[in-house]
Amino acid sequence: MLRASGIEWDLRKVDHYECYDEFDWEVQWQKEGDSLARYLVRISEMTESIKIIQHALEGIPGGPYENLEIRRFDRVKDTVWNEFDYRFISKKPPPTFELSKQELYARVEAPKGELGIFF
């Protein structure tokens, strides 16, 4: 709703997380603020997503490859890599805010805008 109301806000551009800085893409926005503007933003975001995917595919090096992790997983059935802590490994962690001890807030760009998680 924010981007459909004339504000160019996207955490991937603002906080520079993951590898989105390596790709050429623009924040999609409209100024009208109505349902049609939200629809047009969503459609434009899909087009930008395709551009990001195409840039990512161009960056994959060519040549033969071998997935060595598959061999390791075949040998060890109950590996630590299957646990919850390793399911969301990324290139750079999302930005977090400094809060009091035992509290954590993280935010990421989700399909319908900013997603904030507070623990």
Q: How does pLDDT run across 9-60, given as a tens digit for each residue? A: 888 888 887 888 889 899 999 999 999 999 999 999 999 999 999 999 998 8
Q: How does pLDDT run across 58-78, given as a tens digit for each residue? A: 988 877 776 666 666 665 555
Instruction: Determine the residue type at 73.
Output: F
Region for residue 108 given its phi and psi (left: phi exceeds 0; alpha: psi -120 to 50; beta: otherwise): beta
CA-closest candidate to residue 95, choices 9, 12, 22? 12
The CA distance from 47 to 37, in Å, is 15
Element (H, E) at 109: strand 105-110
Residue 114: its pLDDT value, please?
Answer: 82
Residue 107: its pLDDT value, please?
Answer: 84
